Structure 1
Amino acid sequence: MFKHALQAVAYLSEDKITAKVELLKKTFTWTDAEVGIAVSKGPAVLSRTKESLQRRSEFLISELGLEPAYIAYRPALLTYSLEGRLRPRYYIVKFLKENGLLKCDPNYYTVFKESDMTFKKKFIHPHKEAVPHLEKDYDAACKGEVPTNFRFT
């Protein structure tokens, strides 16, 4: 972790680190303690751009409804690709729930952190018969393409 922390701040001045901490507090409505937790668990959050953090905040807090403190304890959520990982997986889970194919609400941190193979094994492969195009459409969505059969709306 020390190596990651060093990489995150190596090229940042003290003023820039302070500004980034203030940005994290404002963007995620975190307390000083929550920023400390997030940075200690995932120092890479300091290297994220303002736009990147704002888009993730809007998605994770506004769209998914995650609590800011939940995100602070799981700062890896801020490092995953929004369009290539977070959105496609969220919409797969949402689609499965809305169509009665998922019996319980999964932990989104687990959904997002799993490898692609594990995610498919748990959430896509069990539903191959009910939704045969799901894997193909998920793969297309991860590449930024608009799926032919599955709509993420």
Structure 2
Amino acid sequence: MIRIFSVKPDKFRGIVEEVKKLGFDPSKRSFLTAVQAFLQLSKSTWERKIDLLKQWGWSNEEVVSAFEKYPKTMMFSEQKISAIMSLFVDTMGWKSSYIAKRPVLLAYNLERRIIPRCLVLQALLSKGLIQKFSLNLLVESTEKKFLQRFVIPYKDPYLLKLYEQKLGLPE
């Protein structure tokens, strides 16, 4: 956590004004997160992350919109962003613009949540058990809701075993 009291007042005031100009409401928690992001990241790191997101096909507007929706987006490591985007876009074939619209998807743990759930989804799709699904439901659901929606209804022991193995749970 950045120590706000160690920041020069003029710099802090400038960051607060910049965050206000972006449309953040000072009475909301997201305002503080946005200020924290500006304080935490150097200009060069900020620009590298913007360039990285653009390499994944995001426009300037999508980068700004993602930050406005979920300011922590810019606080994730470049490695985490790349790994999650690679899975979603390269492996799963989803459009990067969808992730830009739901930047909270970058917040989830790759190994403990995203990969196991994507493996279950791939199994369901390959068996023809589902044709349509919601990426939000897939990733953002609680454990219980995920199991109720994507595993239990299909009464396929392979799905549960696959999921538990990827989670590292004992069989």
User: Structure 1 length as normaliser, TM-score?
Assistant: 0.81
The answer to whether the 8 Å contact 1:9/1:46 transfers is no
- 2:162 corresponds in structure 1 to 137
The answer to whether the 8 Å contact 1:53/1:78 transfers is yes
Map 1:4-153 onto structure 2 (within 5 A).
4-26=33-55, 28-102=56-130, 104-128=131-155, 131-143=156-168
Q: Quote the Cα distance in structure 1 between the aligned partners of 2:49 and 2:157.
A: 45
Q: Quote the Cα distance in structure 2 between the aligned partners of 1:48 and 1:132.
A: 36
The answer to whether the 8 Å contact 1:77/1:112 transfers is yes
- 1:151 corresponds in structure 2 to none
Seq. identity, %: 30
- How far apart are residue 69 of structure 1 and its match? 1.3
Q: Quote the Cα distance in structure 2 between the aligned partners of 1:133 and 1:111.
A: 18
Instruction: Give aligned pairs, total.
Output: 142
Give the secondary structure class of the aligned counterpart of 1:65. coil
* Structure 2 residues not aligned, in runs of 5+: 1-29
* Structure 1 residues not aligned, in runs of 5+: 149-153
The answer to whether the 8 Å contact 1:84/1:142 transfers is yes
Give the secondary structure class of the aligned counterpart of 2:82. helix
CA RMSD of aligned residues (A): 2.1
More helix by share: 2
The answer to whether the 8 Å contact 2:88/2:94 transfers is yes
Cα distance change on mapping 1:96 and 1:19 into 2, 3 Å: closer
